[in-house]
Amino acid sequence: MFRGGVVLYVCAVIALAACASSEVATPVDATEVDAEADAPTDAEIDACAPAAELCNGRDEDCDTEIDEDFPTLGDTCMAGSGACVASGVFECDEAGTGVRCSAMPGDGGAETCNGINDDCDAETDEGFGLGVLCDGPDADLCDEGMVVCAAAGGGTTCSDTTADSVETCNGVNDDCDGATDEGFDLGMMCDGGDSDACIEGVIQCAPGGGTQCSDTTTSTVETCNGVDDDCRNGIDDGFAVGGACAVGVGACLRSGQYVCNGAGNGVQCNVTQGTPTAETCGDGIDQDCNGSDATCPTNDLASGAINISAGGTFTVDLTAARNNQDYSGTFCGSTGGRDVYYTFTLPAAEVVYVDTFGSSFDTVVRIFAGSCTALGAHQVCVDDQCSGAQSQGALQLAAGTYCLVLDQYSSSQTSGNASLTFTRGGRTGTTITTPGTATVNGTTVGGTNVSTATCTSFATGPDVGYWFTVCPSTTRTVAASTCTTATSWDTVLYLEKAPSATDLACNDDGPSPCGSASPIRLSSFTGGAAAGPGLFWLIVDGYNGASGAYALSYTIN
């Protein structure tokens, strides 16, 4: 290209030539125009016919400017890319319709990662995955950088230069390995800080990246309930569940195993002791479950009968005595129950009295002739006197040995405290009915002097006795008299309670006219008091050895 006046000159020459010919000239490169060519004449300029301006070093539009429509013409330009780039200037193209760069690109080489288009293909560092996220050489798997060209060698490197991202327990995948909070056993069952060993929570993340157990329950204390409450050492540890146990003693003893009690704070035996039954002594069995076999009463067996010949009150406990004999049949008192034996001997015929007042059960008294080891004829059975369950009775027996059996009414009796009163009347006599009023006739002739009155020391004649019994808490008022025509001798009357010889009432020579006629002085008294229980005698005696027939009138209320 030419610059300055040369160009203008060439354009002028070309313009003139264009204007002088009707044909369009072939484009000519301005470089080919001789700078020293003759300038167009004015006539040539005036003869120019304007046309569209082309890029060809001519003034087609006759404005005295050449290629003015192509302002970049002659500017510096680059051709190719990357390592193939070449420098040139813009020049008219072959058609003259535009400009082109005169530079010719070089041949490219293999592409390397260096920020240069080494293979001159319009792409730089293609094929190296630049910008792709990547993980550096740390131990985690987190893509914290991207692929970039290495500083040297034409290769690539990762821009991640961070330190290792360590996995912590926080709900985040800190080390980018595809798993969150791995290695912390999250969700596994665990026990909290209580004192039991129960797995009542799960492992969960704690503030700070560590772990903790979600169990915040209080300590579960072991109770006796068939459950391992504290989750250690098994069910009901600390309690003797299943161990052997026993309750009760004697016949009530039952064996079982310990089980939890209702409150859960201890154990109890799972059996109930047996029900005590009436004790039988001397059999080696503790039927009443008091810890020992009862000692038999001394007179539990016939061979141990107690001698009560002297009379008195005798106590005994029949609770554990044996039931020695079934007395069913003609005897009173059902079949009888537990019993004990007494024996007595009468040297002569005599009235005897018995009662069981003060005993704690329904008593029966049976008297047999003979010894207790060889019972003879049954003499009497006494049961339920004085409107109660106790026994009272009197009878006259011949001289001899007798066995008295103190018995329970039946085997259903459970109490056994007994009190037996045995009184010898000291004489024979005749029973009279109380209460009541009667007159009896008799005689003292041929009799003996058995009793002595306290109202006179001369009651030395033969005497006759009449006996009756009085119940407990009862007092009988007695009045008696021999003041009748049937009595013709000097009598003495008195009232006694056996075995005492002290008179409860006594009269010799009753009030006039009964006791004032001599030598017939009869007797009478009123207001005698017979307070029971006991055996009482109303006695007709003779003054100074007198005797005879009599008529005795009495009232007992």
DSSP string, 315-344: EEE-TT--------SSSSSTTB-SEEEEEE
* Residues 145/159, Cβ–Cβ less than 8 Å: yes
For residue 10, what pLDDT is reported? Answer: 34
pLDDT value at 514 more than 90: no
Tally of domains within the chain: 3
Lowest-confidence region among 19-28, 150-159, 267-276: 19-28
Three-state SS for 290-319 is CCCCCCCCCCCCHHHCEECCCCEEEEEECC
Distance, in Å, from the CA atom of 354 to the CA atom of 534, rounded to the nearest integer, reads 8
pLDDT tens digit sequence for 517-534: 656 789 999 999 999 999
| 525 lies in the same domain as 440 | yes
For residue 35, what pLDDT is reported? Answer: 39
* Residues 547/447, Cβ–Cβ less than 8 Å: yes
pLDDT value at 13 more than 80: no
Average pLDDT value for the chain: 88
Closest C-alpha to 358, from 302, 429, 419, 438: 419
Say if 473 falls within a structural domain: yes
Q: Which residues contact 234 (CB under 8 A, 6 or more apart)?
A: 228
For residue 31, what pLDDT is reported? Answer: 44
| 264 lies in the same domain as 376 | no
* Residues 400/322, Cβ–Cβ less than 8 Å: no
Amino acid at 334: S
Detail the DSSP E strand segments found in 384-416.
Answer: 392-397, 400-408
Exposure string for 492-507, b = 16+ CB within 10 A, e = fewer: bbbbbbbeeeebbbbb
| 439 lies in the same domain as 504 | yes
Please give the average per-residue pLDDT across 95-100, as a whole number: 90
pLDDT value at 444 more than 80: yes
For residue 45, what pLDDT is reported? Answer: 58
Say if 29 falls within a structural domain: no
Please give the average per-residue pLDDT across 171-182, as a whole number: 89
| 472 lies in the same domain as 444 | yes
For residue 41, what pLDDT is reported? Answer: 59
Say if 307 falls within a structural domain: yes
The neighbouring-strand residues paired with 549 are 443
| 369 lies in the same domain as 464 | no
Lowest-confidence region among 29-43, 256-270, 390-404, 499-513: 29-43
Q: Give the domain extent around 465.
A: 430-556
Do strands 339-346 and 306-307 pair parallel, antiparallel, or not at all (unpaired)? parallel
Token duo for residue 186? 């999250």
Distance, in Å, from the CA atom of 491 to the CA atom of 534, rounded to the nearest integer, reads 26
Percent of the chain exceeding pLDDT 70 equals 91
pLDDT tens digit sequence for 227-266: 999 999 999 999 999 999 999 999 999 999 999 999 999 9
For residue 461, what pLDDT is reported? Answer: 96
Lowest-confidence region among 101-115, 293-307, 508-522: 508-522
Distance, in Å, from the CA atom of 403 to the CA atom of 301, rounded to the nearest integer, reads 12
Q: Is 330 exposed, middle or buried (0-12, 13-18, 19+ CB in 10 A)?
A: exposed
Tell me the CATH number at 478.
2.60.120.380
Tell me the pLDDT band of 42, cut-offs 50, 70 and 90. Answer: low
Distance, in Å, from the CA atom of 348 to the CA atom of 428, rounded to the nearest integer, reads 9
Tell me the pLDDT band of 32, cut-offs 50, 70 and 90. Answer: very low
Token duo for residue 150? 């290495």
For residue 27, what pLDDT is reported? Answer: 42
| 438 lies in the same domain as 547 | yes
Say if 335 falls within a structural domain: yes
| 413 lies in the same domain as 310 | yes
Q: Is 387 exposed, middle or buried (0-12, 13-18, 19+ CB in 10 A)?
A: exposed
Show the DSSP H helices in 216-315 as ranges: none
Query: Is 424 in a helix, a strand, or coil?
Result: strand
pLDDT value at 542 more than 90: yes
| 440 lies in the same domain as 552 | yes
Say if 51 falls within a structural domain: no
| 444 lies in the same domain as 552 | yes
Domain boundary among 390, 424, 458: 424
Cis peptide before 276 (omega within 30 of 0): no
* Residues 11/58, Cβ–Cβ less than 8 Å: yes
Domain boundary among 259, 275, 291: 275
Distance, in Å, from the CA atom of 461 to the CA atom of 459, rounded to the nearest integer, reads 6
For residue 341, what pLDDT is reported? Answer: 98
Closest C-alpha to 503, from 546, 538, 467, 477: 538
* Residues 220/230, Cβ–Cβ less than 8 Å: yes
Say if 415 falls within a structural domain: yes
Q: In this predicted model, which residue has the larger pLDDT, 58 or 80?
A: 58
| 336 lies in the same domain as 243 | no
pLDDT tens digit sequence for 456-484: 999 999 999 999 999 999 999 999 999 98
For residue 471, what pLDDT is reported? Answer: 98
pLDDT tens digit sequence for 350-409: 999 999 999 999 999 999 999 999 999 999 999 999 999 999 999 999 999 999 999 999
Tell me the pLDDT band of 197, cut-offs 50, 70 and 90. Answer: confident
For residue 365, what pLDDT is reported? Answer: 96
Say if 401 falls within a structural domain: yes
pLDDT tens digit sequence for 327-355: 877 678 778 899 999 999 999 999 999 99
Say if 495 falls within a structural domain: yes
pTM here is 0.57
Q: In this predicted model, which residue has the larger pLDDT, 312 or 295?
A: 312
Backbone dihedral region of 177: left (phi > 0), alpha (psi from -120 to 50 degrees) or beta? Answer: alpha
| 260 lies in the same domain as 367 | no
Query: Is 477 in a helix, a strand, or coil?
Result: strand
| 373 lies in the same domain as 406 | yes
